[in-house]
Amino acid sequence: MISLAVQDQSQVAEARRSASDLAGRQGFAEADRGRVALVATELATNILKHGNGGEILVGVYGEGPDTGIELIALDKGVGISNVAASVTDGHSTAGTAGNGLGAIVRQSHFVDIASWPGNGTAVLARIKSGRRPEAHADTSAIGAVSVPKTGQDVCGDSWGLSVGPEETTLLVADGLGHGPEAAEAAVEAVRLLHRFGGHRVPVLLEYIHGGLRATRGAAVSIARFQPGPGKIIYSGIGNVAGVLSTNGELRRMVSMPGTAGHNARKIQAFEYPFTGGLVILHSDGIASSWTLERYPNLAARHPTLIAAVLYRDLTRHRDDATVLVAKW
């Protein structure tokens, strides 16, 4: 994902251009690129009008025929008191025509909004190529944001998942340092997840540890959900975080010290009872001390939007930042 600051009117055009260019690289036709550009423009304009500035994340989601462009608008403004009314054309709190959010909904295949009075707004919009926009539910169980450190072209973090018949395995890898060499280590960790994902969690992490020896190394976290026995199996090396959230209660899982690929004196897996809620993995570009108390009903939102809100408020801005959220 790329992060685009929206602090003045000139940056609205930059957001529109960047989103349209990404859509073009993904093979979007001219009309579809126009829809992406319009959504980016409306999101950026709303950030200026109602959020006193913020940022837009632009990226690609999904695989194969389900691939599309996603735009995430984030601000820390006054928030929206009535989200349902705000997406109705003609509703305005800024003396305008009130068509902003309504236009975003009409031009997108999926929109989700999280907002709290006094605590800002986050809007997720997804657009597919070659299909007439038609609002539909997005039942994705997993979502993420992954943003490079300011000034870097590539993100030194990566994330992945492996889905089996009876379990789902999540991974976040934080390559040591920043830039292309960190990204190489993180991407290799994801490749090894797909190659050895059928093994038990500690064995999988052993394979990743061995496979990263030729790279600069990475901090790695793995969480495997097994719905049958109702548990999470977790193993981590380095300064990475894994958190379970059930009914608003947080439980932080245990990672061991070291760096995968170089120094991992002990690889150990821990089991946690889990029958439903959120599983959140994040790199150390996200502050480790946080709660969900300031975000009423956040767990009801799309997993990608949950990840984006945590990124908005917890990113350290001096490191790559990745948040992966699974919702069961």
Paired with 273 in beta bridges are 231
Report the CATH number at residue 76: 3.30.565.10
Tell me if 27 is assigned to some domain: yes
What integer pLDDT is reported at residue 288 of this predicted model? 87
Confidence (pTM): 0.92
- pLDDT tens series, the chain, 328 aa: 999 999 999 999 999 999 999 999 999 999 999 999 999 999 999 999 888 899 999 999 987 667 899 999 999 998 886 667 666 654 444 444 335 688 899 999 999 999 999 899 999 999 998 866 665 556 679 999 999 999 899 999 999 999 988 999 999 999 999 999 999 999 999 999 999 999 999 999 999 999 999 999 999 999 999 999 999 999 999 999 999 999 889 999 999 999 999 999 899 999 999 999 999 999 999 998 899 998 999 999 999 999 999 999 999 888 999 999 999 9
- DSSP E strand stretches across the chain: 2-6, 54-61, 68-75, 110-115, 121-128, 142-147, 157-163, 168-175, 218-226, 231-237, 241-246, 249-252, 270-273, 278-282, 321-327
What integer pLDDT is reported at residue 137 of this predicted model? 59
Spatial separation of the C-alpha atoms in residues 10 and 154, rounded to whole Å: 25
Residue 162: count of CB within 10 angstroms of its CB: 19
DSSP-assigned states of every residue in 171-211? EEEEESSSHHHHHHHHHHHHHHHHHHTTS-HHHHHHHHHHH
Selection from 287, 282, 291 nearest residue 314 by Cα: 287
What integer pLDDT is reported at residue 98 of this predicted model? 35
Domain end, chosen from 128, 153, 171, is at 128
- CA 161 and chain centroid, separation: 13
For residues 123 and 146, membership in a common domain is answered with no
Say if CB 146 and CB 158 are below 8 A apart: yes
Contact residues for 128 (Cβ-Cβ < 8 A; gap 6+): 32, 66, 67, 68, 109
For residues 183 and 322, membership in a common domain is answered with yes
For residues 186 and 270, membership in a common domain is answered with yes
For residues 110 and 253, membership in a common domain is answered with no
Q: Count how many domains the chain has.
A: 2
For residues 221 and 303, membership in a common domain is answered with yes
Tell me if 234 is assigned to some domain: yes
Say if CB 36 and CB 26 are below 8 A apart: no
Interstrand relation of 218-226 and 157-163 (parallel, antiparallel or unpaired): unpaired
